[in-house]
Amino acid sequence: TDYTTDALEERRKTYLNVVTSILVKDLNDLVNTWANGGTYYNVFMNLSEDDAISRIMSGPFFLANEELAEERMTKPADLTDGINNSGQEDEHSCFADNTHRDVVTNAQGIVNVIFGEYGTISGASVYDLIEQENATVAAALMAAKDSAMAKINVIDTKANDDQPFDVLLQNESIESPGPIIEAGLALKNEFGANISAGATAIGINLL
Task: Classify residue 207: in a domain, yes or no.
Answer: no
Q: Is there a single domain that holds both residue 102 and residue 2?
A: no
pLDDT, position 93? 73
Q: Determine the Cα–Cα distance for residues 49 and 4; give it in Å rounded to an integer.
A: 56
In this prediction, residue 98 carries a pLDDT of 82
Q: Mind listing the pLDDT tens digit for each residue in 101-136?
A: 999 999 999 999 999 999 899 999 999 999 999 999
φ, ψ at 165 (rounded to 5°): -55, -45
- 77 and 161 in a single domain? The answer is yes
CA distance 13 to 100: 28
Residue numbers of the domain that contains 18: 1-46
Q: What is the pLDDT of residue 8?
A: 76
User: In terms of pLDDT, which residue wins out, 170 or 49?
Assistant: 49
Mean pLDDT of 81-95: 62
Residue-level pLDDT at 176: 87
Supply the pLDDT for residue 7: 73
Write down the mean pLDDT value for the chain. 90
Contact between 64 and 103 under an 8 Å Cβ cutoff? The reply is no
Residues 129 and 165 in one domain: yes
Q: Give the per-residue pLDDT at 9.
A: 79
The reported pLDDT for the residue numbered 180 is 92
Question: Does residue 155 form part of some domain?
Answer: yes
| Average pLDDT score over residue span 43-67 | 96
In angstroms, how far apart are the furthest CA atoms of the chain?
66
Please give the Cα distance from 127 to 82 (Å, whole number): 40
Split into its structural domains, the chain has a count of: 2
Q: Is the pLDDT of residue 174 over 90?
A: no
E-strand ranges in 61-184 read 117-118, 121-122
Average pLDDT of the residues in 154-180 = 89
Within this chain, do residues 22 and 84 fall inside the same structural domain, yes or no? no
Instruction: List pLDDT tens digits, range 185-207.
Output: 999 999 999 999 999 999 999 98
Mean pLDDT computed over 149-172:
91
Say yes or no: 82 and 158 in one domain.
yes
Q: How far apart are CA 205 and CA 207, in angstroms?
A: 6
Q: Is the pLDDT of residue 5 over 70?
A: no
Same domain, 8 and 74: no
Q: State which of 154-158, 169-173, 176-180 shows the largest mean pLDDT.
A: 154-158
> What does the alpha-carbon distance between residue 67 and residue 65 come to, in Å, rounded to a whole number?
7
**Mean pLDDT, range 63-72, rounded to an integer:** 92
pLDDT over 90 (residue 48): yes
The predicted structure's pLDDT at residue 17: 93
Final residue before a domain boundary, out of 31, 46, 61: 46
Question: Does the residue 11 lie in any domain?
Answer: yes
